[in-house]
């Protein structure tokens, strides 16, 4: 029932309209994004509900956007060879053969929605159309090179773009044991990528600036990263980056970071399944289940240049863990933070390092293959700028549900419920499509 003249009435109207339009519009989902086109398969081959990856999707990504072992059998749109394979015998007296994707590997993603701010007297509701409009590319260029990128069409900014050289040492050290990525990256210390979260909002630990400069844990940065798989269950990442969002590094120091992770049980990080290879079948019957436990540890050391060329040293140490059990996926991260804090002021203490911590835990649950609910709790210590003095914690609950209307179209309903007096709650609805 719509209550005229009330804030709830406005939100209800928005929600009902969104749902109604969704149900009435018969969208032909045969149009498919870049990888789905190449393999002529549904999004659900690699995604629980996009963009959240299932175990096979993680393996595909870790392998440089290929299915290890049987990729050629699965590709439906064969690449155009830039020279027959036999040219490898001619090298260096001939160019090493490569390949081009047969079709330009582009995909478009758009998200359109609305938000309601019950605690905000000035703007109690808002259309967010578009919330996102982006152009993405992703493909392999022959066996050992892949590339991925995303451009925000609303604003024309480059979100991410990189080239990845895969399995540089070939089978000598093991497939995927040494890969190099160069470009504008999301640092590999982020275990649950912002780009693959299933809800509307991303955890505050990634989205909030937590230093005196512009350092944000999940921010894009220009740099070089080496990663690899040791066996099927260990992954390492080390990287070096500008550390700032600008094209040119604003200091003469490079930020460095690293992460080491181990997965116990389930399908390997490269998509390998011992149960399938040796026993001929998987124990699970759904492609989103992958009973396993993953733990990771990461560190980040960087320097940012503040006003008057003063430098702030940024240190982060984090532990992340993930438990997947049946339809439940429980994961989170704890980040210990320390900045040298050159502008810091405390009574009787000047330039004391600023120390704090942030963490979140999220549970995703697959109720039905097309219905995934999630609940996140996050806590940020010292949520107020350290220069301002008195410190408070920021706590937030984020419940939500994602409904996959089609494999490439979804409706998300989410609430962001703050546990303090100065951040207002937000209720959001979003229609998201990719093609």
Partner 1 sequence: MKRSMRIVIVTTAAALLLGALFAVPPALAGDLVGTVTARGVRSPENVVIYFGNKLSPDELPPPAENPVMDQRKLTFIPHVMCVTVGTTVDFPNNDEVPHNVFSPSPVKKFNLGTYKAGVVKHVTFDKAGLVPLLCTIHPEMSAFILVLETPHWAVTGKDGTYRIGDIPAGSYKVKTWHEKLKPAVEKVDIPETGEVTLDLALRR
Per the CB < 8 A criterion, the answer to whether 75 and 39 are in contact is yes
Binding residues with partner 1: total (CB under 8 A): 17
Q: Establish if 89 lies at the interface with partner 1 (CB under 8 A).
A: yes
In the complex, the smallest distance separating the C-beta of residue 164 from partner 1, rounded to whole angstroms, is 21
Residue 83 within binding range of partner 1, rule CB under 8 A: yes
- Per rule CB under 8 A, is residue 275 in the interface with partner 1? no
Interior angle at CA 148, CA 239 and CA 53, nearest 5: 85
- Identify which range of 47-55, 88-96, 202-210, 307-315 contacts partner 1 by CB under 8 A: 88-96
Stretch that binds partner 1, among 2-10, 75-83, 121-129, 416-424 (CB under 8 A): 75-83
CB-side neighbour CA atoms (13 Å) of 7 = 14
Q: Pick from 72, 352, 392, 420: which binds partner 1 (CB under 8 A)? A: 72
Applying CB under 8 A, among 9, 10, 97, 110 the residue interacting with partner 1 is 97
User: Distance (Å, rounded) from C-alpha 228 to C-alpha 221?
Assistant: 20
Q: Does 70 participate in binding partner 1 (rule CB under 8 A)?
A: yes
Tell me the closest approach of the beta carbon of residue 100 to partner 1, in angstroms: 12
- Coil/strand/helix, residue 87: helix
Q: Which is nearer to partner 1, 81 or 283 (CB)?
A: 81
Residue 267: helix, strand or coil by DSSP? coil
If binding is defined by CB under 8 A, does position 280 make contact with partner 1? Answer: no
DSSP-derived secondary structure letter, 15: H
**Among 40-48, 63-71, 195-203, 232-240, the segment contacting partner 1 (CB under 8 A):** 63-71
Q: Is 276 in the site for partner 1 (CB under 8 A)?
A: no
- Return the residue of 25, 84, 158, 350 that touches partner 1, per CB under 8 A: 84
The alpha helices in 202-306, defined as continuous H runs, are 204-207, 274
d(CA 39, CA 47): 14
Cβ atoms 34, 147 nearer than 8 A: no
Judged on CB neighbours under 10 Å (0-12, 13-18, 19+), 388 is: exposed
Count of beta carbons in the 10 Å neighbourhood of residue 73: 7
For partner 1, which residue of 24, 86, 104, 349 counts as binding (CB under 8 A)? Answer: 86
Closer CB to partner 1, 5 or 92, in the complex? 92
CB of 268 to partner 1, least distance (A): 17
Q: Which of 31, 71, 230, 369 binds partner 1 (CB under 8 A)?
A: 71
Told to check if 40 binds partner 1 by CB under 8 A, we report no
| Cα–Cα dist 221/255, whole Å | 10
Is 142 strand, coil or helix? coil
d(C-alpha 412, C-alpha 201), whole Å: 11
Nearest approach in angstroms of CB 86 to partner 1 is 4
What is the smallest separation between the CB atom of 59 and partner 1, expressed in angstroms? 15
User: How near is the Cβ of 281 to partner 1 at its closest, in Å?
Assistant: 16
Q: How far is the CB of 36 from partner 1 (least distance, A)?
A: 20
Q: From 51-59, 90-98, 131-139, 345-353, give the range in contact with partner 1 by CB under 8 A.
A: 90-98
Number of Cβ atoms within 10 Å of the Cβ of 132: 18
The C-alpha atoms of residue 225 and residue 202 are separated, in whole angstroms, by: 23
Burial class (CB in 10 A: 0-12, 13-18, 19+), 306: middle
Q: Which residues lie near partner 1 (CB under 8 A)?
A: 69-73, 81-87, 89-90, 93-94, 97
């Amino acid at each position: 029932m719509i209550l005229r003249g009330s804030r709830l009435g406005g939100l209800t109207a928005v929600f009902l309209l969104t749902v109604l339009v969704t149900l009435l519009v018969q969208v032909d989902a045969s149009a498919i994004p870049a990888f789905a086109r190449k393999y002529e398969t549904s999004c659900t081959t690699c995604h629980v509900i996009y963009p959240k990856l299932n175990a096979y999707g993680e393996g595909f990504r870790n392998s440089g956007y290929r299915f290890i072992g049987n990729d050629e059998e699965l590709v439906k749109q064969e690449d155009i060879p830039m020279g027959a394979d036999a040219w490898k015998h001619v090298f260096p007296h001939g160019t090493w053969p490569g390949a081009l994707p047969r079709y330009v590997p582009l995909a478009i993603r758009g998200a359109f929605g609305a938000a309601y701010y019950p605690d905000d007297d000035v703007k109690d509701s808002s259309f967010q159309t578009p919330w996102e409009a982006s152009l993405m590319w992703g493909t392999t260029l022959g066996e050992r090179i892949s590339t991925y990128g995303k451009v925000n069409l609303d604003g024309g900014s480059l979100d991410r773009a990189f080239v990845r050289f895969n399995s540089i040492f070939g089978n000598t050290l093991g497939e995927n044991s040494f890969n190099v990525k160069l470009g504008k990256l999301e640092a590999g210390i982020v275990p649950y990528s912002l780009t693959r979260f299933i809800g509307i909002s991303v955890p505050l630990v990634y989205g909030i600036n937590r230093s005196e400069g512009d350092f944000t844990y999940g921010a894009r940065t220009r740099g070089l990263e080496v990663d690899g798989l040791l066996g099927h269950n260990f992954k390492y990442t080390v990287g070096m980056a500008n550390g700032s969002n600008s094209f040119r590094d604003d200091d003469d120091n490079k930020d460095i970071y690293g992460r080491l992770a181990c997965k116990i049980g389930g399908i390997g990080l490269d998509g390998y399944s011992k149960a399938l290879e040796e026993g001929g079948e998987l124990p699970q019957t759904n492609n989103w289940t992958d009973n396993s436990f993953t733990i990771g540890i990461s560190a980040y050391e960087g320097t940012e240049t503040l006003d008057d060329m003063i430098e702030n040293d940024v240190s982060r140490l984090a532990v992340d863990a993930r438990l997947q059990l049946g339809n439940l996926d429980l994961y989170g991260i704890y980040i210990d933070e320390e900045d040298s804090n050159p502008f810091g002021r405390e009574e009787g203490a000047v330039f004391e390092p600023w120390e704090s911590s942030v963490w979140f835990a999220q549970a995703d649950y697959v109720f039905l293959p097309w219905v995934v609910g999630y609940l996140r709790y996050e806590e940020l210590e010292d949520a107020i700028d350290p220069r301002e003095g008195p410190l408070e914690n920021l706590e937030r609950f984020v419940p939500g549900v994602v409904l996959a209307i089609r494999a490439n179209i979804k409706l998300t309903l989410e609430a962001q419920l703050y546990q303090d007096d100065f951040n207002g709650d937000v209720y959001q609805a979003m229609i998201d499509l990719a093609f």
